[in-house]
Amino acid sequence: MTLEHVPITLIGGCGPHGLALHLWMRDRGLDGAYALVDPAPTWLPTYGDGGLARFTEWLRSPRELDFSLGDPERAMTAWCDADGSRPLQGVYGLDDVTDPHANAALPPARRARRRAFLRYAQTLARDSGADQHVLRAAVRRLVPAGDGWRVELDDGRAFSTRVVLLATGLAPHLRVPEPWRPWWRQLPAGRAELALRADADPARLRSRRLAVLGSSNAAAWEVAAWAARAGAHVTLLCRRGAPIERQLPFDGEWFRGAYMRAFTALEGRERLRRLKRTHVPSSTLPGTPEAAREAGVEVVWGARVRYATELWGGVQVQWSDARGERADRFDLVWAATGGTPRPRELPFLADAVGAGRGPVVVGGPARGLPVTDGQGRWQRLPPIYPLGHLALPRAGLAAATLASAGTYLPLILPDVLADAGVDPGRRALRGAPQPLEAAA
């Protein structure tokens, strides 16, 4: 691989997809064929203490959502931490949770602690030499060029590539709800932030009055409890009457390779119909309200936020709840309102996919996401494969989880190699890779 031309380029290369691609390619001796482009200084930044998931203590993932990729020695359950312990050994599996609400009753010992999972992934990255494939920069522009792409980085470097794998995650798509936008943008910078991206320095939060304007998703509850423990006086304006979560694994089938493969083989319209029809049960993680209360969070149930405005250097929030119209003043407000992935709005892609060149789904649960061809490439463009949440219309409901990296990505890699002109020989057909040479 030279920097003039790279066969396969993964954008978002330090996330789970980048690590999974590296392990899969390395297992097959295809070291020179790919670049992992990412400005992040560490692996899996979303799961680190500065990442979007930093308020999450326990992941919702079953043990199958790991980086084994066919090698049991690389499974999260087999991973040995630096102190000799195996903190992910007891994590529940898909077969343990046939009841879609079972996750709500699983004790901590059966769950993956975020920090342990991160150490597991970082150990795999280090021991497998993943860093040498990383181009430490952000993609500034992606330009269609013949039957491939020209990749321009924000440090001035540029190169051509045949295939792009798009795995930039949720961070570029965080949002406040449409009706809030007129007043939200008038609020003073530094007083009103998106919770998952907020400056959560405890010194900044201590003794401050913080309103978390939430949907009722578990992430909003985690944010509120975390900020309260950091010393803020937190009020959670919770839209519903209970914390809710689309539980993982809602229906284990969606996470299994065979099911995912069968789903990808369906005709596009049928896939969208199934996505629309499938009910994802919501339930509460055990102890969520208790943990928030113990941390000192004041919860206002059924709060509909109407308006917020600057007042005396802080923010006055107005809302309605069962007691009528109410208002209070806070030092800070955080919107814990999640994200809406809209790949057409990615700044580095906007030119390439504008004017109808990159078609997207127009309605339903996959609205705004790429329409792909039979192989999973975004239609009407040189080869570009959406991954993670962006692959929801093709991979199904598990696309928004780690299953996209460990299960969906390996399914599409034979086509990716073919598009990139990389001949894997017989190695690509190998079922299980060689065990990881952990100490190498």
Binding residues for ligand FAD (CB under 6 A):
11-12, 14-17, 37-40, 45-46, 52-53, 56, 59-61, 65, 138-139, 167-172, 196, 219, 348, 387-388, 400-402
CA distance 235 to 225: 10
Q: Which helix (H) or strand (E) holds 293?
A: helix 288-295
The burial class, CB within 10 Å (0-12 / 13-18 / 19+), for 374 is: exposed
* Residue 3 C-beta: closest distance to ligand FAD, Å: 16
* Residue 139 C-beta: closest distance to ligand FAD, Å: 4
* Residue 307 C-beta: closest distance to ligand FAD, Å: 27
* Residue 220 C-beta: closest distance to ligand FAD, Å: 10
Q: Which is nearer to ligand FAD, 250 or 319 (CB)?
A: 250
DSSP 8-state code for residue 405: I
CA distance 397 to 252: 10
Q: Which is nearer to ligand FAD, 283 or 317 (CB)?
A: 283
CA distance 228 to 205: 9
Residue nearest to ligand FAD (CB): 169
Alpha-carbon distances of 348 from 41, 144, 364, 365, rounded to whole Å: 20, 12, 26, 25
Q: Which is nearer to ligand FAD, 317 or 390 (CB)?
A: 390
* Residue 276 C-beta: closest distance to ligand FAD, Å: 22
* Residue 16 C-beta: closest distance to ligand FAD, Å: 5
Q: Which is nearer to ligand FAD, 314 or 393 (CB)?
A: 393
Q: Which is nearer to ligand FAD, 318 or 340 (CB)?
A: 340
CA distance 336 to 181: 14
Could you tell me the end-to-end alpha-carbon distance of the chain, in angstroms, rounded to an integer? 23
- Structure token pair of residue 7: 């066969």
CA distance 144 to 235: 48
* Residue 201 C-beta: closest distance to ligand FAD, Å: 18
Q: Which is nearer to ligand FAD, 160 or 316 (CB)?
A: 160
Q: Which is nearer to ligand FAD, 372 or 401 (CB)?
A: 401
Check: CB of residue 46 under 8 Å from CB of residue 168. Answer: no
* Residue 358 C-beta: closest distance to ligand FAD, Å: 16
Alpha-carbon distances of 374 from 179, 268, 343, 397, rounded to whole Å: 37, 9, 19, 18
Parallel, antiparallel or unpaired: strands 5-11 and 34-37: parallel
Q: Which is nearer to ligand FAD, 75 or 308 (CB)?
A: 75
CA distance 407 to 427: 18
Residue 103 dihedral angles phi and psi, to the nearest 5°: -55, -30
Check: CB of residue 101 under 8 Å from CB of residue 246. Answer: no
